[in-house]
Amino acid sequence: RQAKAKAGPRNVNKLRGGERSNDRGERSDKPAERKERDDRDRDAQKEKEPSKQQQEEDAAAKEEALQRSLEEARQMHFESLINFLAFNRRHPQRVFLPEGDPPAP
C-alpha cells in the first residue's frame, strides 16, 4: 500500500500535463522567452483598451442617442397634451331653468 501511495502524486502531475521541474507554473528562466511573453501580454492589453478616437466616437454616439431619446420624449409629451385638449373637453350643455317654482319634495 505504501508503494502505491508514493506513486500516486507523480502520476497526478503527469495527468495534469505539468512536468516535474516546472509543474507549479513557475516562470521560465530564459530571458528571451520572458521578453516574448511580456510583449504578447502588452499587445493583448493594448488590444483590449479602446483608442482615444474610439472613445470619442463612443461618447459622441451616446450623446446623440441621449439627444434623440430626449427629443422623442418631448414629442410624445406634446402629442399627449394635444390629445388631452382635443378629446377630453366637455361639450357645452344647455340648461334651461324652469319658469315657475320647483315642485315640493
Contacts of 50 (CB under 8 A, 6+ apart): 58
Alpha helices in the chain (DSSP H): 2-16, 31-48, 52-87
Q: Please give the model's pTM, rounded to 2 decimal places.
A: 0.39
SS3 103: coil
At residue 44, the pLDDT reads 77
SS3 29: coil
Per-residue pLDDT of the chain (105 residues; tens, 9 = 90+): 555 555 555 555 555 555 555 555 555 557 778 788 888 888 777 767 778 888 899 999 999 999 999 999 999 999 999 999 888 877 777 778 878 887 787
